[in-house]
Chain A
Amino acid sequence: MPELTYREAVRDALSRAMREDEDVFIMGEDIAEMGGSMGVTQGMLAEFGPERVRNTPISEIAIVGTGIGAAMQGMRPVVEIMYQDFLTLSMEQLVNQAAKHRTMSGGQLKVPLTVRTQGGAGWSPGAQHAQQLEAWFVHVPGLKVAFPSTPEDARGLLWSAIYDDNPVVFFEHRLLYPLKGEVPEELEPIPFGKARVLREGSDVTVIAIGRMVPESLQAAEQAQEEEGISVEVVDPRTLQPLDEETILDSVRKTTRCVTAHEAVTRGGFGAELAAVVQKGAFDYLDAPIERVGAKFAPLAFAPAMEQWAVPHAADVLEAVKRTVARS
């Protein structure tokens, strides 16, 4: 199987879709000559030309809104919002428009729009370039939310996002871009709403998303080696729809649960996961559900403060140990 980086995997999905389908095009800030601020779309201008690889002004409302309009006509635009912090500027179009046209029209309209964005801490970008806002979008009926953690998932989920008839907010993590992983020779679309069990275990389930997936795998390794604790790691991959079945099956087996994301803990997606688990597996639980996330503060610039505020493998390991100690 070939090996791709997470960045190359995203690009591969975009390029394959654009080769096959002239309804697919991409637009966003600095995505053409520059190839995107994260280099994801490098080389695509040369292959597809400026009509289909469109640099835009710094206009996040218009980038998303124009994508919605083209999608309403049956095109499949993939728009890039350079940092997810800037999604805040697009919120009106995403929340009031993209998410609602189908219902408000009584089923007459579809909005097959994909909004790609990225972000995350770990390189001292400061408070306005490092947020993890995925939970906001899970709260909006009509939107779908994907957050892949591996190259294979990034490629297969992005393909599914492009060909989903609904608006999808597709989160990538900045620190995952250089991560390498094997991908199938042929692109295999990964359906939304199917979690992946990345590591099997019997003592505790860690449900992790984004960067906290590799961090949780590392914690699981350590837990096994240092404490003899067997950790199962589950990545939901899409937050909306959510594969509750796989999550509950895992927790019913292990009887303990930790959630992990880089976003701040308060109001984060871990709260939703905890609610799902307590409702569906309450009688199985041997310990309170632990939530791992960032501390509740705008992210500070200085590396020491930044690194202290966001979670790492060590935080997952501690949470795992606490849940096991409870029984």
Chain B
Amino acid sequence: MAKLEKKPRAGGGLSEEELRDLFRQMLLIRRFEEKVEERFRAGELPGFLHVAIGQEAVAAGVCAGLEREDTIMSTHRAHGHTLAKGTHPNAVMAELYGKLEGCSHGYGGSMHLYDVANGMLGANAVVGGGLPQVTGTALAYKFRKQERVAVAFFGDGATNTGTFHESLNLAQLWKVPALFVLEMNGWAESTPQSQHAPIEDFSQRAVAFGMRSIDVDGQDVEAVYEATREARRHAASGEGPVFLNVRTYRLVGHYIGDPQVYREKSELEELRETKDPIELLRAQIELSEDEVEQLDTEVSAIVEASVEFAKAGTDPNPEDALKYVYA
């Protein structure tokens, strides 16, 4: 049976400059999602949207720990993963506006972001839906003897699906180079963990398949990065997939506009004060007010430009709805 590992706070693995880059990355994701929320409330974005404010360190830390040729699949809450994997904010924002310049050319929307050239193989609006495809993608890498890993992001709600269990069982059985990144935020939409699973430690679910599991503090981007590097080394060397049990916090509702009647306001306020991964990193690397302000100005300008880019984008022809039904 695989051993449970408690990953200690990694110290000194990343240089000051690399941490500063991660800070900037996380801040960019935060400002991007705040802008998305603002534009959605202004009525500019069709459909419905889910933001991952509070979970930025998972997206940034995992993607920083991957190689360029590695691939990810994500969830309905995918903006951060997609940006962290390397998709330009313009392409993500244009997708949210339904423009041809969007990363899915207007066919996907927020819950179906794709950017195959940058290794983003799709966000999935069916909880757990991408997991077996990550197993299959990793199987292809194994067949072709490529040193690549396929990564699945999913939440604790997904671990209750049959898809999760079938996918991890097969991945471990065939020892494919996959990483299964659980973003354990304690909520399945509005249903708390206590009402959706009889266990608190979800790594047990991976260990049940004999899969190596690493526990990580998801608010600590350096720890996420270090765990990902180790998991990647393990998976890419043919030792089998790894489960990253990442504890994180969703500091917002399930969807934009969610009144969150299911949790106390005071609880959320306290989490925002104590668990914001951006604030935690800022304190760790001792950025000055001026430095933070300068970075904020930079990333906010990028986000603002992405909105302008998206608004100036091309609306698809209605008849192009049929263009990609078959290859």
The answer to whether A binds B is: yes
- State the A residues within 8 Å of B (CB): 25, 51, 54, 56-57, 59, 61-62, 64-75, 77, 92-93, 96-97, 101-110, 112, 141-142, 144, 165-166
When chains A and B are docked, how far (Å) is the Cα of A109 from the Cα of B326?
11
List the A side residues contacting B136 at CB < 8 Å. Answer: 65-73, 77
Chain B residue numbers with a CB within 8 Å of A109 are: 114, 116, 121-122
In the complex where A62-B169, A72-B121, A73-B137 touch, is A51 in contact with B150 (Cβ < 8 A)?
no
The answer to whether residues A68 and B132 also contact, given A56-B170, A104-B122, A166-B326 and a CB cut-off of 8 A, is yes
A64 touches B132 (CB 8 A): yes
| A103-B324 in contact (CB<8A) | yes
Residues from chain B with Cβ under 8 Å of A56 in the complex: 170
Residues of B whose CB lies within 8 Å of any CB of A are 102, 104-108, 112, 114-117, 121-122, 124, 126, 129-141, 143-144, 150, 162-163, 166-167, 169-170, 173-174, 323-327
Query: B23: shortest Cβ distance to chain A, in Å?
Result: 31
Q: Given the known inter-chain contacts A70-B137, A70-B139, please indicate yes or no for A104 contacting B114, CB distance below 8 A.
A: yes
Q: What would be 19 A-B contacts, judged by CB atoms less than 8 Å apart? A: A51-B143, A62-B163, A66-B132, A69-B132, A69-B138, A70-B136, A70-B137, A70-B140, A71-B136, A73-B140, A75-B140, A77-B136, A92-B163, A93-B129, A106-B102, A106-B108, A110-B327, A142-B325, A166-B327
The reply to whether B167 and A65 form a contact with Cβ atoms under 8 Å apart is yes
The number of residue pairs between A and B whose CB atoms lie closer than 8 Å in the complex comes to 140
Q: Is the CB of A57 within 8 A of B114?
A: no
Residue of A nearest to B326 (CB): A166
Smallest CB gap from B174: residue in A: A54
Chain B's closest residue to A111 (CB) is B327
Tell me which residues across on chain B come within 8 A of A72, comparing CB atoms: 121, 133, 136-137, 140
Q: CB-CB < 8 A to B114: which residues of A?
A: 104-106, 108-109
In angstroms, how far is the closest chain A Cβ from the Cβ of B306?
A: 18
Q: Which residue of A lies closest to B323 (CB)?
A: A107
Q: Are the CB atoms of A105 and B134 closer together than 8 Å?
A: no
Give the CA-CA distance A25 to B142 in the complex, in Å.
13
Whole-angstrom CA separation of A51 from B327 in the bound complex: 28
Across the interface, which residues of A come within 8 angstroms of B116, CB to CB? 105, 108-109
